[in-house]
Amino acid sequence: MKEIASREKDEYYMKRALSLAVLGQGETSPNPMVGCVLVKEGRVIGEGYHHRCGGDHAEVEALKDAATRGEDVRGATAYVTLEPCCHFGRTPPCAQRLVSEKIARVVAAASDPNPKVKGGGLAVLREAGIEVSCPCLEAEARWLNRGFIRVQTLGRPWVTLKAAASLDGRMALSNGESQWITGLEARTEAHRIRASHDAVLVGVGTVLKDDPELTVRHVEGRNPRRVVMDSQLQTPTDAKAVTGDGGCLILTASKDAARKKRLEDAGARVIALPEKDGHVDLNAALSCLAQEGILTLMVEGGPRLLTAFMEKELGDWISIFIAPKIMGDGPGLGTGLSFASVAETLKLKGLQARRVGEDLLIEGRFTCSPDL
């Protein structure tokens, strides 16, 4: 019974640490989101989270909070949503800081997949005589930092495919018209999802057809980085994605120096990548985005771009808004995919569905998505 009570207590404080960690969403990349709660004699004496890349880590924020409260942290337990770091980066190592502050026990939700850490932080704590308990609510902690884990283990971001379609799966009419398939509530929710990602990616076809801003509207939130997949550098220099605040990143297979210069003069960054089948190699593109510090990527392109990601099994998650409409002929989600049998088709797991205004939002993880 004592062991159960202790585990429940650990999970209680870890849930608080996780709720703090998520406050850093959108600001910490390429670092993970981390929260920390300091507990002594049954009281929370300090707490904090990693606010932004380059700023203090969660453990230091919590120690500072305890100092502000006039609390003595010696002998306290630190609940941290990720293994404390043990290397010098933009900030000093947190594991050694916890040792110097004479923390008695550390409960970590999950180990850090970063090769520079990967158990090293916990080892520093144990060698100093600190009691270490790990994992605790590991699944929740790893899901929170799925983008960080993807980059550290696979060298690519976590990829969400987003689409709006009719009941018969069409993303546009046969004449190309697609605005608006879904209602305002669904579009608002789509912007909320967009704000939770580090970057949003569209193909040049979407830029030429719709000239999207790729910003967050309807809701409060930070604008993700704008990325355009443009194999032949057809993006207009006056496209909203290019001229908007912060410009955009254009990934291309083109070697046309004159077009590149015009786009860069307009405010874009252009990166040439390897070509595959006449298009930018998607694996190279994702590797490039990871190197740019992007942990989570939302793909909002048209049917062809979404199909390309699904064909290469590079999507992790899908968010599809289904409108109660029959649109008949026209391009649809998955147009261009071909399977020899139903058993080979792409499948989802952990399916979630909810009504958003007059539309339905269906979300789930592709079964081909590697485990976290």
- Contact between residue 181 and residue 331 where contact means Cβ atoms under 8 Å apart: no
Catalytic-role residue among 3, 41, 59, 177 = 59
362 touches 322 (CB < 8 A): yes
59 is catalytic: yes
Cα–Cα distance measured from residue 133 to residue 126, given in angstroms and rounded to the nearest whole number: 10
Quote the tokens at residue 360.
């339905």
Residues with active-site annotation: 59
